[in-house]
Homo-oligomer: A and B are copies of this chain.
Amino acid sequence: MTEASRSLATLLQPRSIAVIGASTRLESLGGKTFANLLAAGFTGHIHPVNPKAEVVQGVPAVADPRDLPDGIEQAVLIVPPEAVEPVLEVCGEKGVATAVIITAGFSETGEEGAERERRLLDVAERHGMRLLGPNCMGAVNTDPEVNLDTTFSPVPVIRGGVGLVSQSGALGVAILSQAEGLNLGFSSFISVGNMADIGIEDALGYWLEDERTRVVTMYLESFGDADAFARVAEPLARTRPVIVVKAGGTEAGARAASSHTGALATDERAFDALLRQCGILRAPTVQDMCFWAAAFERCPLPAGKRVAIVTNAGGPAIMAADACSRHGLELPGLSPATRQELAAFLPPAAALGNPVDMISSSGPEEYRRTVEIVAGDPEIDAVLVVNVTPPLGSTPEKVIEAIAGLEVARRTPVVAAVLTGDDFYPAAARIAGAPPIYRFPEPAVGALAALARYAERRRLEDVAFDTPAPDREAILARLPEPSASAGGLQSDLHLLDPAAAAEVLAAASIPVPEQSLAPTPEEAGAAAARIGGPVALKAVVPGLLHKADIGGVALSLQGSDETAAAARRMNEAVAAAGEDLAGFVVQEMVPGGIELIMSTRRDEQFGPLLLLGLGGFFTEALADVAVGRLPLSRSEAGRMLSSLAAWPVLAGTVRGAGVHLESLLDLIGALARLAEDIPELVEIELNPVLCSREPDRHRAVDAVLRVRPRP
């Protein structure tokens, strides 16, 4: 298939559509879908196919798809499951470019259905046809030159700038139905259903070229290939806001993690990393996604985070201020000039702080003038209008009319929270030039915060790591020889021995303590003398992760005698635990510091991932970790560090704490580079990394490296 034929032109801009299964009964699927297509005012040719009716909803029908003319661009199939394949074959023979299969009963029902779905794909590929669905709810394009609607949405779709792609047709239609109260307008909607062929990335690729789509929204339940997604999502998010809701986020991942820290880089965290690195916003709920989309559709991006609140009542303004603070938005005081201008016409009892409380006697005119002045203040990046019924002798509709279409709102976002009765909202949202209107302050602030986050992200310029490439040959030489051992995944992986691990890390510029491998207690003692100062002694027990649990770690040993004696005791303890001791590692003691963990693993879906987190007991309990996808920029690694709850400890804003951050970023860069360049290292876990205040004094004190043997 060529790139051109993979486009969605015949899905969203067809010049002719056959609706196979169009029905005369309006309450049936085939009836409602056909009625919606007629009601939308589709600008192309419509061909209903119905075996029993000569005319469907006033349009002449054919009885059999074989009777359709050649060259129809799109066919919508609403036929029984067993009829889908033969009908699709006919469509292919007729030269249909895109088939939309509304019919359900395929891969969503199990293996047998999946097999039937594969056969549909075979038919489509044989004919060079694109498929939407099966088990989907069609598509919408509100472009007046097309007016396409092949959904059975119960309410007409409002025209606007939002693109929506949904893995749940029902939820997509529910979003379209609920949009009325926000007057949220859509450019296009694609219900991808089972995604036998057309998927999320196709939709994103289409919008990348579609100027009518100024905001992109997605509802996801499952997720395919991160690289394919990122390739199109990242450029899309650079040109317009992209918002995602992903359901199933709390499902405990079924991953059989091979170590406890590995398990922290869950699919959810990896997915969040993917979105963050693509510059995509993740909304917690579908409702929030709609709230945010309404703001993005109607407002310019703010220059910063400084919000002014304009209100006629104190209580809701306090709630708005609380919400701003929770979202990291700022409420600066107004400039003296602005206060002076406001004082000239607001009632004397008005409060000219931020919030500006114009008090309850203020009406539409005061709102208009105040919003104009405040939004024009160079110290303010966005305005939240709060209005509570009453303004006596006026209505909230008049307040919205007064602030609708203000010139200043083209440069500074203005959103409104109006607290009044239910019937206000749909009508008010339709006032020309109205700001996005919310029922309470919190969602309005949430939307402003989304604007500010996206705008900030657009301004970011990332600095890359300048880590040199690790010496691949030197590292490969330390990896185990090809192994003839057969067996499952576990036995295919080798755990590197400590000496080899330390050499690999050192070759990759990851600082490790000075250390020696000693086969016997006597040699351990000699090594301690050689290293000098206090040493740590660790048992080498192949395959064992938690050697401290069986007495396999001793710290702060002084000199050769004490070290040799500890090694002899360790020998006995390890034997008593039924394990085989293969020798000792003698390591210089690293002075105590902040303990971090860092690890990498290769995920089938998300590719190589890097995890940073607080070490010690707290790794597991607090799960204070950040995950990033490789490759990683230095800036992104910095953002990961500062996203940790323990960040103040690292940054030194906590008394007595603080680590050398630039060295820490160097170390992260070296680890990232190692994991990227040596894919044979399928897992690297540095636990702990003892971090120092001094430059270049961080040390990866213990490391577990897992290797996939070279073939």
Residues of A in contact with B (beta carbons under 8 Å apart): 27-29, 32, 104-105, 109, 152, 154-155, 166-168, 170-171, 173-174, 177-178, 180-181, 219, 221, 245, 247-251, 260, 284-287, 312-316, 318-319, 321-322, 325-326, 349, 360, 388-390, 392-393, 419-422, 425-426, 439-440, 442, 546, 548-549, 594, 617-618, 620-622, 624, 645-649, 654-657
Q: List 15 A-B contacts (CB under 8 A).
A: A32-B390, A170-B315, A171-B419, A173-B389, A174-B316, A178-B422, A247-B315, A248-B322, A285-B319, A285-B442, A422-B422, A549-B656, A617-B649, A620-B648, A622-B645
Whether B154 contacts A421 by the Cβ 8 Å rule is yes
Cβ 8 A contact of A315, one of B28, B221, B360: B221
Q: Look across to chain B and name the residue whose beta carbon is closest to the beta carbon of A319.
A: B247
Bound-complex Cα distance A245 to B251 (A): 31
Whether A170 contacts B322 by the Cβ 8 Å rule is no
Measured between beta carbons, the chain B residues less than 8 angstroms from A621 are 645-649, 654, 657
Listed residue (A155, A419, A420, A649) with the most chain B CB atoms within 10 angstroms of its CB? A419
Closest Cβ of chain B to A511, distance in Å, is 22
Bound-complex Cα distance A260 to B170 (A): 52
Measured between beta carbons, the chain B residues less than 8 angstroms from A312 are 170
Measured between beta carbons, the chain B residues less than 8 angstroms from A646 are 617-618, 621-622
Cβ 8 A contact of A439, one of B287, B617, B647: B287
Whether A105 contacts B392 by the Cβ 8 Å rule is no
Whether A27 contacts B392 by the Cβ 8 Å rule is yes
Whether A421 contacts B313 by the Cβ 8 Å rule is no
Measured between beta carbons, the chain B residues less than 8 angstroms from A420 are 154, 174, 177-178
Whether B247 contacts A170 by the Cβ 8 Å rule is no
Given the interface pairs A27-B393, A286-B440, A421-B178, the reply to whether A622 lies near B620 with Cβ below 8 Å is no
**Number of copies of this chain that the complex holds:** 2
Q: Look across to chain B and name the residue whose beta carbon is closest to the beta carbon of A311.
A: B170
Bound-complex Cα distance A27 to B392 (A): 6
Bound-complex Cα distance A260 to B656 (A): 13
Cβ 8 A contact of A170, one of B245, B314, B617: B314
Given the interface pairs A152-B390, A247-B315, A322-B249, the reply to whether A421 lies near B170 with Cβ below 8 Å is no
Closest Cβ of chain B to A400, distance in Å, is 16
Measured between beta carbons, the chain B residues less than 8 angstroms from A425 are 422
Measured between beta carbons, the chain B residues less than 8 angstroms from A152 are 390, 392
Whether B654 contacts A421 by the Cβ 8 Å rule is no
Listed residue (A109, A249, A315, A654) with the most chain B CB atoms within 10 angstroms of its CB? A315
Bound-complex Cα distance A305 to B388 (A): 37
15 additional contacts, CB 8 Å, given A32-B392, A248-B322?
A152-B390, A154-B420, A170-B312, A170-B388, A171-B388, A174-B420, A177-B389, A177-B421, A181-B422, A248-B318, A260-B655, A286-B440, A618-B618, A618-B649, A621-B654
Whether B548 contacts A178 by the Cβ 8 Å rule is no
Measured between beta carbons, the chain B residues less than 8 angstroms from A168 are 313-316, 318
Closest Cβ of chain B to A107, distance in Å, is 13
Bound-complex Cα distance A426 to B423 (A): 9
Bound-complex Cα distance A314 to B318 (A): 39
Bound-complex Cα distance A425 to B173 (A): 17
Q: Look across to chain B and name the residue whose beta carbon is closest to the beta carbon of A32.
A: B392
Bound-complex Cα distance A537 to B389 (A): 67
Cβ 8 A contact of A442, one of B177, B248, B287, B548: B287
Whether A170 contacts B360 by the Cβ 8 Å rule is yes
Measured between beta carbons, the chain B residues less than 8 angstroms from A647 are 621
Q: Look across to chain B and name the residue whose beta carbon is closest to the beta carbon of A173.
A: B389
Measured between beta carbons, the chain B residues less than 8 angstroms from A109 are 349
Measured between beta carbons, the chain B residues less than 8 angstroms from A389 are 154, 173-174, 177
List the 4 closest pairs (A to B, CB-CB), nearest first.
A168-B315, A174-B419, A170-B313, A171-B315
Measured between beta carbons, the chain B residues less than 8 angstroms from A649 are 617-618, 621
Measured between beta carbons, the chain B residues less than 8 angstroms from A620 are 648, 654-655
Bound-complex Cα distance A180 to B28 (A): 33
Measured between beta carbons, the chain B residues less than 8 angstroms from A654 are 617, 620-621
Bound-complex Cα distance A105 to B361 (A): 13
Measured between beta carbons, the chain B residues less than 8 angstroms from A422 are 178, 180-181, 422, 425-426
Given the interface pairs A318-B247, A420-B177, A422-B181, the reply to whether A548 lies near B656 with Cβ below 8 Å is yes
Closest Cβ of chain B to A196, distance in Å, is 17
Measured between beta carbons, the chain B residues less than 8 angstroms from A155 are 421
Closest Cβ of chain B to A170, distance in Å, is 3
